[in-house]
A and B are shown apart, each in its own frame.
Chain A
Amino acid sequence: MNDASTANKNLMQGATGPWEIVIGLEVHAQVNSKSKLFSGSSTAFGAEPNSHVSLVDAAMPGMLPVINEECVAQAIRTGLGLKAQINNRSIFDRKNYFYPDLPQGYQISQYKYPIVGEGVIEIDAEGESMTVGIERLHLEQDAGKSIHDQHPDYSYVDLNRSGVALMEIVSKPDMRSAKQAQAYVTKLRTILRYLETCDGDMEKGNLRADVNVSVRKPGDKLGTRCEIKNVNSIRFIGQAIEVEARRQIGIIEDGGKIDQETRLFDPAKGETRAMRSKEEAHDYRYFPDPDLLPLEFTQGYVDGLKAHLPELPDEKKARFIKDFGLSAYDASVLVAEKANADYFEIVAKDRDGKIAANWVINELFGRLNKEGKDIEHSPVSAAQLGGIVGLISSNAISGKIAKDLFEIVWTEGGDPADIVEKRGMKQVTDTGAIEKAVNEIIKANPEKVEQAKLKPSMLGWFVGQVMKQTGGKAAPAAVSDMLKAKLGIE
């Protein structure tokens, strides 16, 4: 998977020579569902403390979990999107540990028999394509939330998140650089958002990653790894990996040894540090949850879900390249967010795909970025931008007038074709009208005409004059051709 040429580029230089970084990721993705994994309380974010909590979520004695069928379906859809093996029989286990925001004293998770097995994700990192293996995906409960800064002596516990369904998606240790790890999480997030199985909102903690990092001399066996917990942005994932790899290389080169441990990344200090509870060697004492039977479903059920999967980013990218003649780069930019791809398709439908891509990526995205707006709140709708692109493709307006038109539609709204008609913005392609303007300019400037015969670069000045005369509406190519003929310039 990592041949010598790609591997070499990613090596990190130490005092004793180059080192290879080995990275694997465990991503926790909150399942899109209305209610929790094993109870009927709401999963909505930002509610009053302990309001979205049932007696099941609070782990009151005698309460029993009943699984949410939609969470199961979402995990299967995600597995299919990762081209993974779907296990028609899986088992829920109890993972035992004590923490105030875990009222059961155990998390219901899956251990030996997860719902989804091995799969793959194709990523592009620094211009190179590679495949990252997926080890497994399993369903589990989220914990509640502890707040430590409200009181000097007490922690405050809110169980609203307790019992919300998570998918833990574990990669194989296939990544060799921070960039590759970032590309992996970005791509995984895109796939989840296409499938609508997780909203991927990292700010709300709906997608977070535990990053496993180890280092070795190229060709050596795997080094001891450290796990950096709960990194919650793609930028921080990159920083945490760089910083942790440096730390490990430093220790080994000074003759030390890496302890396998769990660490936290502190973005403010730019360092990772060991979590204090490390002396509690984790012993989760997993055992099958006696409250839950095995999770079983038929292949027919899986096939039914598969039949309704949306088009995924890789397929969409291939189709954009084939059907619209886009470059691989433009296609990647457009499919990264489904909303952008959908917008583009409306703009490009029955029109010139390359012009459409250019206007969506450069003019629209540029303007949206500048004004901090997202595509759902774009003042220019896809239908409107499509109208503009149509006017350009049919040569009704020039590229320059199109930018003015975009500005008008952005600020005032309206139908582009109407605006062009009413404000007389149409490009003049009528050779008679252009010829009239050309003749007038030539007649009014005899001395420049003489100069131009000696100095062909004068042509630009004439084109400018004709454009001015026609209010920018003459087709520049037609003007240029006619001037060349009349002035005798090659």
Chain B
Amino acid sequence: MQVDAATVRRIARLARIKVTDEEAKGLEKELSGILDWVRQLDEVDTSGVEPMVRVVAQQMKQRADVVNDGEIADAVVANAPLTEDHFFVVPKVVE
């Protein structure tokens, strides 16, 4: 499967990763190679087979509706580069 330059650019943009033209060339080849390798799975006939979501049969754990977390604003913003009154402060984003 051939991944072209435009597709690499698009994926990089969606993932917010900055990619130089130089790097993009290499990535075209790399991504194409990965997809080719994964494509071997297409050789298996999976028609009528449910996708497997768990190895062991178990139900999803649920929690009761109680408040038992939060109230740790200091810890929540501790690693942020910029904060004010416990707000995260980020470069302006306006719609």
A174 contacts which chain B residues (CB < 8 A)?
A: none
Assess the A156–B65 pair: CB atoms within 8 A.
no
Complex: how many Å from CA A322 to CA B92? 59
From residue A453, how far is it (CB to closest CB) to chain B in Å?
80
Contacts of B77 in A (CB 8 A): 50
A33-B65 contact in complex given A54-B70, A293-B53, C-beta closer than 8 Å:
yes
Determine if B92 and A154 form an interchain contact, defined as CB atoms under 8 angstroms apart. yes
Known: A147-B87, A155-B93. A69 touches B63 (CB 8 A): yes
CB distance from B49 to the nearest CB of A (A): 16
Bound: A11/B62 CA distance, A: 49
Name the A residues within 8 Å of B61 (CB-CB): 66-67
Interface residue? A309 (CB, 8 A) = no
Chain B contact-residue range equals 35 or more
Residue of B nearest to A39 (CB): B69
B14 at the interface (CB under 8 A from A): yes
B67 touches A295 (CB 8 A): no
Contacts of B16 in A (CB 8 A): 98
Q: Which of B43-74 contact A (CB under 8 A)?
A: 53-54, 58-73
Q: Quick one: which of B54, B61, B73 has the most chain A CB within 10 A?
A: B73
CB-nearest residue of chain B to A96: B14
Q: B90 touching A54 by the CB < 8 A rule?
A: no
Q: Which of A106-153 contact B (CB under 8 A)?
A: 146-148, 150-153
CB distance from B45 to the nearest CB of A (A): 22
B69 close to A54 (CB less than 8 A)? yes
- Do B85 and A49 have beta carbons less than 8 Å apart? yes
Given contacts A40-B66, A53-B70, A264-B95, contact A154 B86 (CB under 8 A): no
B93–A146 contact, CB under 8 A? yes
Determine if B12 is an interface residue (Cβ-Cβ < 8 Å).
no
**Taking the nearest CB of chain B, how far is it from the CB of A152, in angstroms?**
8
Q: How far is the CB of B43 from chain A (nearest CB, A)?
A: 22
Main secondary structure of the interface of A (DSSP, over half): loop
Please tell me if the beta carbons of A56 and B69 are within 8 angstroms of each other in the complex: yes
Is the beta-carbon distance between A283 and B14 smaller than 8 angstroms? yes
Interface members, chain B 22-54 (any A CB < 8 Å): 53-54
- Residues on A with C-beta less than 8 A from B88 are 50, 100, 156-159
Instruction: Check if A67 sits within 8 Å of B62, measured CB to CB.
Output: yes
Are A51 and B90 in contact, CB atoms less than 8 angstroms apart? no
In the assembled complex, the Cα of A292 lies from the Cα of B59 at a distance in Å of 10
Please determine whether A50 and B92 come into contact, CB atoms closer than 8 angstroms: no
A49-B87 in contact (CB<8A) = yes
Closest A residue to B10 by beta carbon equals: A283
Q: List A residues 62-76 near B (Cβ within 8 Å).
A: 66-72
Q: Is A55 an interface residue (CB 8 A)?
A: yes
Q: Which residue of the partner chain, among B14, B63, B71, B94, contacts A52 with CB atoms under 8 Å? A: B71
Q: Which residues of B have CB within 8 Å of A294?
A: 53, 60
- Report yes or no: B62 in contact with A68, Cβ–Cβ below 8 A: yes
Number of A-B residue pairs having CB atoms within 8 Å of each other in the complex: 133
Name B73's contact: one of A50, A96, A150 (CB within 8 Å).
Answer: A50
Within 8 A of B (CB), among A428-484: none
Residues of A within 8 A of B85 (CB): 49
Chain A interface size, as a band, is 35 or more
Residue contact B67 to A154, C-beta cutoff 8 Å: no
Question: In the complex, which residues of chain B have a beta carbon less than 8 angstroms from the beta carbon of A151?
Answer: 89, 92
**Across-interface contacts of A296 in B (CB, < 8 A):** 59-60
B53→A66 contact, CB < 8 A: no
- The reply to whether B66 and A50 form a contact with Cβ atoms under 8 Å apart is no
Q: Answer whether A40 and B95 are a contact pair too, CB < 8 Å, given A50-B77, A67-B62, A154-B90.
A: no
Judge whether A285 is part of the interface by a CB distance below 8 angstroms: yes
- Of B70, B75, B89, the residue contacting A40 (CB under 8 A) is B70
Interface 0/1 of B6-21, CB less than 8 Å to A: 0000000010100000
CB distance from B61 to the nearest CB of A (A): 6
Q: Check A156–B89 contact: CB distance below 8 A.
A: yes
Residue A214 CB within 8 A of the other chain: no
* Chain B: CB-nearest residue to A157: B88
Q: Which of A35, A48, A283 contacts B67 (CB 8 A)?
A: A35
Cβ contact within 8 Å between A67 and B63: yes
**Is A42 interfacial (CB 8 A cutoff)?**
yes
Residues of B within 8 A of A40 (CB): 63, 66-70
Question: Which 6 A/B pairs are nearest by Cβ-Cβ distance?
Answer: A41-B70, A70-B65, A40-B69, A293-B60, A54-B69, A157-B88
For this complex, 6 residue pairs linking A to B, each with C-beta atoms less than 8 Å apart, are: A39-B69, A50-B87, A54-B72, A156-B89, A293-B58, A296-B60
* Known interface pairs A51-B70, A155-B93, A288-B53; 19 further A-B residue pairs with C-beta atoms within 8 A, sorted by A's residue number: A35-B66, A41-B71, A49-B86, A53-B72, A57-B70, A66-B63, A67-B61, A69-B63, A99-B93, A146-B93, A150-B87, A152-B92, A154-B89, A155-B91, A156-B84, A156-B90, A285-B14, A293-B54, A293-B58
